[in-house]
Amino acid sequence: MSLEKTMDDVIVRSDEVAAAQAEGRAVVALESTIITHGMPYPQNLETARRVEAEVRASGAVPATIAVMGGRIRVGLSDAELDALAQAKGVAKLSRADLAVCLAQGGVGATTVAATMICAARAGIAVFATGGIGGVHKGAEDSFDISADLQELAQTPVTVVAAGAKAILDLPKTLEVLETLGVPVIAHVQDAFPAFWSRQSGLAAPLRLDTPEEIAAAHRMRGALGLPGGQLVANPIPLEAEIPADRLAPLIAQAQAEADAQGIAGKAVTPFLLQRLFELTEGQSLEANIALVLNNARLAARIARALLG
């Protein structure tokens, strides 16, 4: 008996996603760590449903991706979303541990990197998320750099995010993306956004203002045979942002607490997000939800433009 598995064995598409792909309609991939590690219940479930609704309202089909029962689930039913939102001990999957979780029949939520891998294998070219991972502060000593950056350099998916998470070292993150040859495209502004804030104080390397231009750039990378995808940095809506100068001291406080408690690796981001939720009295969560919805809308428009 062969132990080899094909993509058809590993990937299970929901009926909605399978029908959309068969009919040539736009599909947008969505990650699942925002559900399991990014927000508390029940806000995580409510947000997941709202993000999927935004994708549908913008003319595309949502495909929330997670590992369940030893399969990559591409598109989740409402019952599956509910179960995932309340599940305990869900693995946070990136490139390094995706295959092991699948082989062991575990339950895992996909980070940006893992979602890109799964989306590409499922034939989905556009992915909406909150913010990408990047270079952590102090990385010159810890070497803590998210696998998301390397994934953007090798997997051909356009990722729509509100920049990189503001808890990161943003100048170093942009430097690494440049070194890896990843296009960093700001949408409708010249500045690189900083997740909860529209301005990071850093200029974006590239700017494109329409979904059609972004889709054309995606197609051109394929025509040139260039590996990797592109990062579309979509600023949070003005009415929802938290100004960077207000956030900076709170981020510094949360980071100092993480250092004092010896928190490292994959545990850093969830800890910092939770502390900022507490320090902003919930405003960071409200901003997070607003920016994810905004990214879902733009991603759906890009996915539709890619069909043109």
User: Active-site positions?
Assistant: 31, 165
CA torsion through residues 196, 199, 201, 202, sign = positive
252 phi, psi to nearest 5 deg: -60, -40
How far apart are the C-alpha atoms of 120 and 134, rounded to whole Å?
A: 21
Residue 126's closest CA among 63, 71, 195? 63
Residue 197's closest CA among 159, 237, 169? 237
CA torsion through residues 30, 32, 33, 39, sign = positive
Residue 148's closest CA among 166, 162, 167, 135? 135
Residue 173's closest CA among 135, 133, 225? 135
How far apart are the C-alpha atoms of 166 and 111, rounded to whole Å?
A: 17
DSSP string computed for 193-258: PBTTBS--SSB-SEEE-SHHHHHHHHHHHHHHT--S-EEEE-PPPGGG---HHHHHHHHHHHHHHH
Residue 161's closest CA among 303, 28, 291, 27? 291
What tokens appear for 256 in the block? 């100092």
